[in-house]
Structures are given as C-alpha cells and as structure tokens.
Chains A and B, each alone.
Chain A
Amino acid sequence: MHFVVCAKQIPDPETPPSAFKIDESTNTVVPAQGFQPVLSQYDGIAAEAALQIKEALGDEAKITVLSVGAESAQAAIKQVLAMGADEGVLLQDDAFEGGDSHTTAKVLAAAISNLGDVDAIFCGRQAADWDVGQVGLLVAEELGWPAAILAKGVEISDGSMKTTRVMADGFETVSQALPAVVTVSNEFGEPRYPKLQQIMQAAKKTVTTMTHDQLGLDPSEVGSSGARLKLEKLYIPQSDSQVEIIDGETPEEQATNLIAKLVADKVL
C-alpha cells in the first residue's frame, strides 16, 4: 500500500492580531516578524489518520508527504516525517506561486500520478489559512478518483476505504473503492507527538524537490497564470463597537427601555 498525505505550510494562525499585517497594494499577507510558518493543523490530523491505518496494516504501507510551497515548507514535511511518514516531496517552483485551489490540486495530482502506485490520498479538511476546503476534492477530480470529505474515522481493508463522515445532523458511513481521496476533519483526534528517535531520523532524511518540468506541467496551467480565482481585495475588516447603558429603576423598566431602543434602531 502507498498513501499520500498532502501537507500545507501556513502562516501561524496563533499570530496575535496586533502582529497580523496586510499589504493592500499587493493583496498579500505580510509575514509577521518573529512568527514562523507552521503545518496546517488539519494536515497533521490527516497524517495521523494515514499513520494509524499504516499501523493497523502491520506497517505494510509507505507514506509519502507532498507539499506545494516555498523552501520553508520543508519544515512542515519534516514534521510529518517525524510523526512516522516515510518520504517527503516538496513541489517547489516559481511557476506554482499565486495559484488557487484548482492549480494547487493540479500540481498535487501531477505529482501523485508521477509517484505511480498510490492507493489513497489523505488531506486535511481545509487549510487553516484560507479555509477554502477544496483542494482534496479537486485532486480527486483531476485523478478521476472517488473522494469522501470531513472524515472522523477512516479504515482501509480489502481494496476499499470506509469513512465515517461528519454531517450537520449526525454521521454518515461511506465506502469507496481504492484508489480514493479522503479529507480528514478535526473530529478524528489529535495528531501524535513524535518520538525523539523519529525526529532525529526525519532530520536526516532528504526531501525531494520537484518542479513543473519534472511533473510535465505547462507553466501556463499552474500558479497565477492558471488560476481561475482572482483576488480582488484583501483587507482587515474594521470593527467598531459602541456601548450604551440602558437606564431604568427596575429590571422591568430596563427591559422595556431596551426593547424600545431595539425597535427604534430597527433591530427588532
């Protein structure tokens, strides 16, 4: 068995609001000083799901981590390697920059086809920076594989993948034939804490880097040139709050005044 975990490196979601800056002229996020980018939390959970299945299969499986990103994304790949993944591939190319979910999926799908014998792809339910949640499904679309999203449980046996999906009103269990794609939700559980032995082994592993040439991709199809989604404006919303104390001698009177006020402001 060969599993792929798709991992994205994102700006630290815990960057304090005061340190989060945007360059409105280029519509980009200014990297906050002193805050290193991190592995998107849902991708860590996807890796955990893949690792648990690998263990259930008696370690008879290989896990490859794929990431589209800059050189710094090596750190995110190493983190998944430390958890127990076997190999890492960084898809790094200027041509991949400025893309959207569609072009990212295209690059990932090309890399997966390149790997050849992949049986299952594990993605996080969404990346914790833009929270779009489309890449997993679009990879499946590119490859023509079935996909299940928002899984809280995944099992693989007899050539099929069984997932328990989180629905608005409960859970749903679906089965799909391999090869297949699953996006894993936070309900699955926490990712593991790596053993030091594994951290050190991961540090020694080399992460392969691949560009559009090696993947046989036309630069016009990927990155900003291939993107169908155009970012019009990126800005931090201004929020404003005003407090007004409602007068009144008794709670009843205060309530009456509050309602009058709400009606006057057309809230009610």
Chain B
Amino acid sequence: MADESSIQNNRLQSQLIGKWWMPAIALSLGGLYLAMQFSSPEGAGRESFFNVAHPWSVYVFMASLVSLLVYGLVRHATLWRLGKDTPESVFANLPHRLKNVFRLGVAQDKVRRDRYAAVMHWSISSSIIVLTLVTAQVAIEDDTPLNFLHGPYYLFFSFYGDLFGLIGLIGVGMAMWRRYFVDFSRIRWDERPEDHLIIVGLGLVLLSGFFVEAFRIEVTELTQYPDWAKWSFVSYVLANFFEIFAMNDNQILWSHSAMWWTHIVLAFSWLALIVFTRLDHLFFAPINAFLLRTDSPGRLSTIPNIEEQEIFGVGYIQDFSWKQLFELDACVRCGRCTDVCPANIAGQPLSPMHLIQDLKGHLASVGPSIQKIGNEGGDTRSVSPISMVGEVIHDETLWACRTCGACVQECPVMIEHVPTIVDMRRFLVMDEARLPQTAQAALQNIEMRGHPWSGTALERTTWMDGLGDVPIFDGTQDYLYWVGCSGSLVERNLPITKAVFRLLKEAGSSFGVLGQEETCNGDPARRLGNEYLYQILAEQLIGTFKEKNVQKVITNCPHCFNTFKNEYPQFDGHFEVFHHTEFLNSQLQSGALKVQHELPETVTYHDSCYLGRINGVYDAPRQILDFVPGANVQEMQRNMSKGLCCGAGGGNMWQEEVGERRVNHVRSEEAIATGASKVISNCPFCIQMFEDGVPAMHPEEVGRIEPFDVAEILELAVFGNQDNLEEITEV
C-alpha cells in the first residue's frame, strides 16, 4: 500500500495553507458584527486630515508617484517591445488566463508552495491591499460629497485598519526573521541593497502609521471617547503607552504632525520603489500569470516554416518574444527555481535564477542601443559587444538543463525558464553548430539510424524473442503499443517492454506493435535544440500513424508519451495517448488484470518528470502499487510535484555531466535513504540512471536497492516470480 498518510498529509497541508487567511477574514467580519451592535456609535468619526497643514500636498506626492510609475512602465515597455511576437496570442483562451490571474496572481498559488513564505507573503500583500483601501476611503470621505466614515462603519474601519496593519507587521517580522536571523540561503544568493530597503522600509511605514494614529487618538479619543478608541486596538495600546511620557496636548500635536509627514514621505518613497526595484512584481506577477501559456508545460514552441528562416534559435536578446523579455522583469530573485534545480543541487553550472537575472542585466545594458540602432534601420544583431549565448549565458549552463520543469513549477511569478533555455540551445545547435561531442553523437545517430542509442547491438525486434506471437499493428487493433528506442535498444529496458507486453496480453487488450517500423519520434532532438530534425521525424511518424490508422497509443516512456500527447497536435497529429501505468491501472480497476502474488517489501516510488510534474500523472502508478499485496510504499522526501529529476532529462542522457556531482547520484542517495528494497519508476531513462547511480552510492551489493519499473512490479504480482514467467512464455 502507498504511504497514504504522507501523501494525504501533503495534500491536506496545502489545502490548509490555501485557507489559512480565513481567520483574518472571520476576525474582520466578527469586528463588523460587534461594531453594528455597539450601543451609541452615532457620533463616532474623525476629521480626515486632523492636525495636518496643507493636506493637499498628499496629492502632489500622489501625482509624482503616478508619473514615476508611468515613467517606469514606459521605460520597461520600450525594452519589452524589442522582442518578437509570442507564438500564440496572449488573448487566446481568455477565461483560462483570467482564472490564472486570480489563482496565481491574487490567490498566490505558487507562493504557497513554501508554507512559511505563504504566510509571510500573504500577510504583507493583504496588508498593503487593505491599507491602500483604507487610505483611499479617507480620501473619498474628504474629497467627495460621500460621507460614510462615521458610526458603526467608522468603528469597523478603525478595527480592520489596525488588524491588517498588525498582520503586515507580522509579515515584515517573518521576512526579517528569514533574512537576518536564520540560515536561509536562497534569498541571499543574489541579495542587493534594495532588498533591505524594501523590508525595513515597509516596517517603518506600518509602524509610523500606527504612531500617527496613536498620537491622534491620544488627543481626540483616549479620554473623550475611550469606547471608540478601543476599536483601533493597536494604536489604542500604543496611545496608552505614550501617556507614560505625559506630554501636553501641544507636544502631542507636534509629534502627530511630524509623524504624519514622516509616514507620508516614507509611504510614498516606499511605493516609488516599485519603479526601481523588484517590488514591481506587485504588478508584473499578476500580469505574468495572465501571460502564462495556457497549453501544456510539456510543449515547446514550433518554428513555423523552418526552411525559410535565417536564424533558428535565440542568440540575440531581441530574438526572444516580448513575453520572454517581460518575464525577466518579473523575477524577484527569490531563488526557488535554483533551489529545486537538479543541476544546481548537484553543483552543476546552472542556476535558473541567475540565468534570468543575467538575461535581464543584458537586456538593460544593450536594450537601449538596440532600440536606437533599430529605429535608425541598422543591424541590431551587431549591437551587443558580447555574445548573449556563450558569454552572458555560458554554453555549459544551457546544456546542464534537464527540462524537468521544477523551476517553472516553483516560480511564484510564473516565469517559464525551460522554453527560454531551449530557445538558446536551438541557437547553439542549429545556428552555431556548437554542442558537446556526446550530444552531437546522439543527434547524428538519430539522423543516421533513427534512434539515439549509438553503439547498440540490439534490434528493434530483439525484445520479442521468446514471447511467441507478437501482433504487428495493422489498424484493426484498438491500441498501438509504442515500445520506443529505449524500450527496444537498451538491454536493461527489455524486461520492462516484455512485462508491459505480457500484461497487455493478460488483460486481453486489443493491441499491436510497429516492430522494425518504429523510429525516434524526435523528442531528444527537440530537447537538445535541433528543432529541424525534430520536425522531420515528427512529420514522418505522424504520417506513418495516420497511414496505419493509429488512434490510441500506449507508451513505455514518459518522453514519448509527452511528445505524442502534447507536441504532435502542433503538427496535426491527434492521438489518444496513455502511459503504460495509466493503461495498466485502468485494467486493474476494471478487473481485467488480477493480482495474485504477494510482494511483501518496502519500496519507494520515483516520479519521472515527464509523467509526473509535466503531465500530472501522480496517482495511476501509485494506485498500481496499492494493488500489489504486501508492498509498502515509502515516499522519498522529494515526491510528486516536488520530485527530483533522475538527471537524464533534456538530452542529458547522452551528455557528460559537468560539475561537482552527478544528479543520478543525488537522487539514488535519496532513494537509498528511504530504506526501501526497490526504487520504482515509470521511465526507461530514470531506470538507467538508477542502475548507474545506485551502485555508485551503495557499492556493497548486499542490501542494495534495486531499480524497477512499475510494470515489472505488476508483472511479479500478476504472474509470480521469474520461474513462473518462463513457463507462461513457453505456453
């Protein structure tokens, strides 16, 4: 059985985090109710600009701030406009985009993936929003004929103003705790002076606000209307505290006035930081949520009419889309992406955060000249004195990416790093032909032999040996069982292919295989940056599928699965695609497959990136393991959407790793740490990476964790041990 409690716990916690702010709302509503019940509140109210000379000056500040914001926006927008059009219109699928703005921008779904930050950030952001509304109401009360700040509403207004001021201070306190008092490295990977300014500044704005209110209360309410004063509960306490100093009214009024001006100057200065610092995410994050792609994160963009292009990838900043340039400005340097990046975890030369920041810096430094030269009709590609790909972003940084999507998953401002990285790889491969020898060998092998496994001694039909009659797909069967290059040409994966075959047969499914006619579907070529080769292969295979009347496909490999499911529709290849774990799970659920043998073992489950994080299939494989009697699933620390890549993604299966450690060693260590006897995955690459990583991390053969595919485990549970299997095969 799967480790229900830990998964449930995970899900429950994220749900709770989703609703943690409910107490704040409940408290406010409670306040409203009590205010309505208050016995004699009719006279309650206050003078809007009490004790303030020249209150109109606020509007001067306001006007300056708005001009600054507009200036900042124009300055940014000029740079974004250097970019090209986005592949799909940013207004396509509007309801989905608006939902994203609410879910990812307002409700901050991604921020919530770090629980501490969730509370901290929501405290600060809700406080800023509520206090802005509070200020706006004062302005409306004062400058329009509307008068509503009196009576019960005034008391309620005083209450929630203080409540959210306090919540804001709690948020600031939490932020300071992380930044100054505990060892929390990721926010310091790219720390800048502005970061202190933002956090200390906000604290001072909130504090000074309370001081202003406290001084006012001390003069106007504390003795006269103590029942009103109590509603401003924070300032009430503060005002009582000020009584210790026994200032006379004049002194208090002077302090009030001084504090009021301090508060105003601080508040507007702080807001001005939006223009100059990462505080701009206040606007950019929700906008980027709107701009976020609405299709699968497993889909890379196509290059239309590739044969007519002159430049294929992105080697110059102006060749990115304007959305990709916009994203650079949205980055808040929180480090979440780098924190989960498998390459970074293994000490390899890639930090998604620094990549984005380096591109942002490059845009800021060369953007204005590019714009100028462009306006004059000059060659914008010769503007930059240094090459973006190679010098700003090093080749090895781009090659270290696994395209695992962990960075994209975590980014609280919805930056999509992977397409940006692959765009630059496209430049390296197709425009510059500059790529690691091993990646080149894999690509050439695909070109020459239709598979990336240079040097294999196997044929595409070798796995069929000893299986008796293997049906070849001819259009009459329901499903095409797609074995894939790794499932047929890599020795280790043959037992997996055989297991899936036996299980499909046992379930009585109507299926066939392509055998010798299978060829690479192009995924490795696309991920390595050779879009041209990918398109040739994809069009070829889609043609074959259509010719053979393929409708439904079952794949061994999550990479093939993702390509067929998410990327072939770009080339008019529409098929219903299942990963073998999804299909086998459905066969177990329907009773077509029956589990008869016990497997009394503790196992751990590794989510492959392309089945799990990118395609959201977390449950089917775990449900299969649930069916296996006796199997006890011990989850790894990083699991499901937070799972760590095996190290092979993004064409890294065929590359030498550069850096301190290998990613598969890190992940193998994590699997070993569970104490399980088997590490179970669903991807031929993951299995190979574990086969290589486990012995390196556990040289002692005795008690070594064994890499298994879900299908291999299910095969054992359905047919029993290997001896039984051979008998079945003979029959």
Interface residues of A, Cβ cutoff 8 Å to B:
12, 14, 16-19, 33-36, 38, 190, 192-197, 199-200
Q: Is the CB of B532 within 8 A of A16?
A: no
B422 CB to nearest chain A CB (Å): 15
Q: Is the CB of B454 within 8 A of A190?
A: no
- List chain B residues, Cβ under 8 A from A197: 310, 431
Cα A14 to Cα B444 in complex, Å, equals: 13
Interface residues as binary, B311-335 with A (CB distance below 8 Å gives 1, 0 otherwise) = 0100000000000000000000000
B72 CB to nearest chain A CB (Å): 40
- List chain B residues, Cβ under 8 A from A194: 433
B53 CB-CB contact with A under 8 Å: no
Q: Is the CB of A38 within 8 A of B443?
A: no
Q: Is the CB of A17 within 8 A of B457?
A: yes
Interface residues as binary, B439-469 with A (CB distance below 8 Å gives 1, 0 otherwise) = 0100110001100001111111010000000
Contact sample, A vs B, 7 pairs, CB 8 Å cutoff = A16-B458, A33-B516, A34-B460, A192-B433, A193-B444, A196-B433, A197-B431
B170 CB-CB contact with A under 8 Å: no
Q: Is the CB of A195 within 8 A of B430?
A: yes
- List chain A residues, Cβ under 8 A from B435: 193
* Residues of B704-728 contacting chain A, CB below 8 A: none
Q: Is the CB of B448 within 8 A of A195?
A: no
B432 CB-CB contact with A under 8 Å: yes
Q: Is the CB of B459 within 8 A of A16?
A: yes
B307 CB-CB contact with A under 8 Å: yes
- List chain A residues, Cβ under 8 A from B365: none
- List chain A residues, Cβ under 8 A from B462: 16, 18
- List chain A residues, Cβ under 8 A from B433: 192-196
B570 CB-CB contact with A under 8 Å: no
Known: A33-B516, A34-B460, A196-B312. A12 touches B448 (CB 8 A): yes
A152 CB to nearest chain B CB (Å): 17
B437 CB-CB contact with A under 8 Å: yes
| B313 and chain A: residue at smallest CB distance | A196
- List chain A residues, Cβ under 8 A from B448: 12, 36, 38
- List chain A residues, Cβ under 8 A from B457: 16-18
Most chain B C-beta atoms within 10 Å of own C-beta, residue among A12, A18, A190, A193 = A193
Q: Is the CB of A196 within 8 A of B430?
A: yes
Cα A192 to Cα B460 in complex, Å, equals: 29
Besides A12-B448, A197-B431, 12 other A-B contacts (C-beta < 8 A): A16-B457, A16-B459, A18-B457, A18-B459, A33-B516, A190-B437, A190-B440, A193-B440, A196-B430, A196-B433, A196-B532, A197-B310
A125 CB to nearest chain B CB (Å): 20
Cα A196 to Cα B516 in complex, Å, equals: 29
Most chain A C-beta atoms within 10 Å of own C-beta, residue among B433, B437, B454 = B433
A197 CB to nearest chain B CB (Å): 7
Known: A197-B310, A200-B307. A14 touches B455 (CB 8 A): yes
- List chain B residues, Cβ under 8 A from A195: 430-433
- List chain A residues, Cβ under 8 A from B429: 193, 196
Interface residues of B, Cβ cutoff 8 Å to A:
307, 310, 312, 429-433, 435, 437, 440, 443-444, 448-449, 454-460, 462, 516, 532
Report the 3 A-B pairs with minimum CB-CB distance, sorted nearest first.
A196-B430, A195-B433, A193-B433
| B437 and chain A: residue at smallest CB distance | A190
Known: A35-B449, A200-B307. A193 touches B443 (CB 8 A): yes
- List chain A residues, Cβ under 8 A from B532: 196, 199
- List chain A residues, Cβ under 8 A from B443: 193
Q: Is the CB of B431 within 8 A of A196?
A: yes
- List chain B residues, Cβ under 8 A from A193: 429, 433, 435, 440, 443-444
Cα A78 to Cα B433 in complex, Å, equals: 17
| A75 and chain B: residue at smallest CB distance | B448
Q: Is the CB of A12 within 8 A of B456?
A: no
- List chain B residues, Cβ under 8 A from A38: 448
| A36 and chain B: residue at smallest CB distance | B448
- List chain B residues, Cβ under 8 A from A196: 312, 429-431, 433, 532
| A189 and chain B: residue at smallest CB distance | B437
Cα A251 to Cα B553 in complex, Å, equals: 56
Cα A192 to Cα B448 in complex, Å, equals: 15
| A194 and chain B: residue at smallest CB distance | B433
- List chain A residues, Cβ under 8 A from B440: 190, 193
Cα A194 to Cα B447 in complex, Å, equals: 12
- List chain B residues, Cβ under 8 A from A36: 448-449
- List chain B residues, Cβ under 8 A from A17: 457
Known: A19-B459, A193-B444, A195-B433. A14 touches B449 (CB 8 A): yes
A42 CB to nearest chain B CB (Å): 15
- List chain B residues, Cβ under 8 A from A19: 459
B531 CB to nearest chain A CB (Å): 9
A11 CB to nearest chain B CB (Å): 12
A45 CB to nearest chain B CB (Å): 14
A20 CB to nearest chain B CB (Å): 11
Cα A16 to Cα B461 in complex, Å, equals: 12
Cα A36 to Cα B443 in complex, Å, equals: 16
Cα A12 to Cα B444 in complex, Å, equals: 13
Cα A199 to Cα B459 in complex, Å, equals: 29
| B465 and chain A: residue at smallest CB distance | A18
Q: Is the CB of B449 within 8 A of A16?
A: no
Cα A124 to Cα B637 in complex, Å, equals: 54
Cα A194 to Cα B435 in complex, Å, equals: 11
| A38 and chain B: residue at smallest CB distance | B448
- List chain B residues, Cβ under 8 A from A199: 532
Cα A200 to Cα B533 in complex, Å, equals: 12
| B430 and chain A: residue at smallest CB distance | A196
A39 CB to nearest chain B CB (Å): 9
- List chain A residues, Cβ under 8 A from B460: 34
A62 CB to nearest chain B CB (Å): 21
| A34 and chain B: residue at smallest CB distance | B516
- List chain B residues, Cβ under 8 A from A16: 456-459, 462
B296 CB to nearest chain A CB (Å): 26
Cα A196 to Cα B428 in complex, Å, equals: 11
| A200 and chain B: residue at smallest CB distance | B307
Cα A194 to Cα B433 in complex, Å, equals: 6
B345 CB to nearest chain A CB (Å): 30
Most chain B C-beta atoms within 10 Å of own C-beta, residue among A14, A38, A194 = A14
Cα A17 to Cα B307 in complex, Å, equals: 38
A139 CB to nearest chain B CB (Å): 27
- List chain B residues, Cβ under 8 A from A192: 433
Cα A101 to Cα B444 in complex, Å, equals: 29
B530 CB to nearest chain A CB (Å): 8
- List chain A residues, Cβ under 8 A from B459: 16, 18-19
| A32 and chain B: residue at smallest CB distance | B459
Cα A192 to Cα B443 in complex, Å, equals: 12
Most chain B C-beta atoms within 10 Å of own C-beta, residue among A18, A33, A194, A196 = A196
- List chain A residues, Cβ under 8 A from B454: 14
- List chain A residues, Cβ under 8 A from B449: 12, 14, 35-36
B102 CB to nearest chain A CB (Å): 42
A9 CB to nearest chain B CB (Å): 12
- List chain B residues, Cβ under 8 A from A33: 516
Cα A14 to Cα B456 in complex, Å, equals: 7
A230 CB to nearest chain B CB (Å): 32
B586 CB to nearest chain A CB (Å): 33
Cα A196 to Cα B525 in complex, Å, equals: 13
A155 CB to nearest chain B CB (Å): 23
B455 CB to nearest chain A CB (Å): 6
- List chain B residues, Cβ under 8 A from A12: 448-449
B304 CB to nearest chain A CB (Å): 15
Cα A190 to Cα B431 in complex, Å, equals: 19
| B310 and chain A: residue at smallest CB distance | A197
- List chain A residues, Cβ under 8 A from B455: 14
Cα A200 to Cα B312 in complex, Å, equals: 12
A215 CB to nearest chain B CB (Å): 30
Cα A18 to Cα B435 in complex, Å, equals: 33
- List chain B residues, Cβ under 8 A from A190: 437, 440
- List chain A residues, Cβ under 8 A from B312: 196
- List chain A residues, Cβ under 8 A from B310: 197
B452 CB to nearest chain A CB (Å): 12
Cα A184 to Cα B464 in complex, Å, equals: 42
